[in-house]
Structure 1
């Protein structure tokens, strides 16, 4: 059989059940959700499904008035959709690498643009980083995920996890920061000496500084967000 035949192509790419549970990495850049009930996913991330699944846009007051107000300031990047039913759901986001995390009474902060899906058992809240909202296009927000259950996050290319210790703080570019442990509270600083190296509208390099004991996940890519005019 030719290695380029249709049969060989199907053999190499056909969906297969790996028995990994609710969230399954079908490929490094595609998440399979073995749905039996409900899951939250990033709006627009569905690429295929089978079975009896109903999709709903997140209701205006579904998660309370406070989150609705915060969402109005963060734009469409935080929009969620609810998938309910039984079947197989396939999610992806611009070809980014998918990372599945099984939280066990853990807390993690995820960049709002990098949260792909999570179980309903996960408690979440949108956190707008107000101090830099006026410095960066569209500001920057993250989602605090807490509890027990599965979440899926995304990264442009392979992520790198950096340990933060009391004697070794970590400084990152906000646009390259994917997630960080729940006990860390980043501070923001600017470095005017770096302004000639950055094509930013502010003319300054805005950085996130993490101090304490935990970890930060970064990606080898700067994700730039643009404020919607709508």
Structure 2
């Protein structure tokens, strides 16, 4: 049997996390170092690997029910190699150190079981439900694999150079940054998407660190039922935080 497909054969490397290609993650397990991965993300494996549903604590279930943020994970353990992917999105491995990482849970593919994660709130200048208001804080030491739609942009934030990013395009940022959610309009026009520009909410980052942005805007928020009309587009009325999309804001 001959085919150009054999150029995509398994990469035999020793690293725990490695990239089989930009959209396929390869993780090596040695029996003592479990990895937590998004449920359904395994596409292949070799060796003696077991997959168990990760049990959520009461606090994790409560936070996810009220904010929409949280991880639905499976625990992978044993000896062998596991391959993870999700909708052919680009994958990026990040080392989490003492500074921590804040990320939208929708973009987490896998992480070391030694890392801790909890839901945190992002300040809103107006207190209005919107994408990016609640995120996931990952702390400890270990690796996490993030996903982006397309090749991302990593922006450095310094005390004299702050960064603004669309709330629907931001993927992750250094936890040490100061963050504020705002609309780039006068307060009287906060319900509009900046007039006729089509832009909406943004996050402003200040301090020292990095912000990761993908070349895609997810609007509306994932799993939201938008319905019809201008009020529905901005999360108000029956489609707002007190309507069908109660998971998009903490009440």
* TM-score normalised per structure 2: 0.76
Check whether the contact 1:109–1:179 (CA below 8 A) recurs between aligned residues.
Answer: yes
Q: Which residue in the other structure is 1:197 paired with?
A: 197
Check whether the contact 2:38–2:109 (CA below 8 A) recurs between aligned residues.
Answer: yes
Distance in 1, matches of 2:119 and 2:42, equals 22
Report deviation, 1:103.
Answer: 2.9
Q: How many residue pairs are counted as aligned between the two chains?
A: 215
Q: Which residue in the other structure is 1:227 paired with?
A: 224
Q: Which structure's residues are more often strand, by fraction?
A: 1
Report deviation, 1:133.
Answer: 8.6
Q: Which residue in the other structure is 2:13 paired with?
A: 18
Check whether the contact 2:63–2:70 (CA below 8 A) recurs between aligned residues.
Answer: no
* TM-score normalised per structure 1: 0.82
Distance in 1, matches of 2:154 and 2:138, equals 18
Structure 1 residues 124-133 or 167-176, which shifts more?
124-133
Distance in 1, matches of 2:99 and 2:118, equals 14
Which of 48, 55, 58 is the equivalent residue of 1:52? 48
Q: How do 1:153-168 residues align onto structure 2 when only pairs under 5 Å count?
A: 153-168=146-161
RMSD of the TM alignment (CA)? 2.5
Q: How do 1:5-154 residues align onto structure 2 when only pairs under 5 Å count?
A: 7-19=2-14, 21-37=15-31, 38-61=34-57, 65-75=58-68, 78-129=71-122, 131=124, 135-136=129-130, 140-154=133-147
Q: Secondary structure at the match of 2:79?
A: strand
Q: 1:14 to 1:23 in 2, by over 3 A?
A: same
Extract unaligned runs of 5+ from structure 2. Answer: 226-243, 246-251
Check whether the contact 1:195–1:205 (CA below 8 A) recurs between aligned residues.
Answer: no
Which of 169, 173, 176 is the equivalent residue of 1:180? 173
In the alignment, structure 1 residue 214 sits paired with structure 2 residue 183: no
Check whether the contact 1:70–1:128 (CA below 8 A) recurs between aligned residues.
Answer: no
Extract unaligned runs of 5+ from structure 1. Answer: 1-5, 199-203
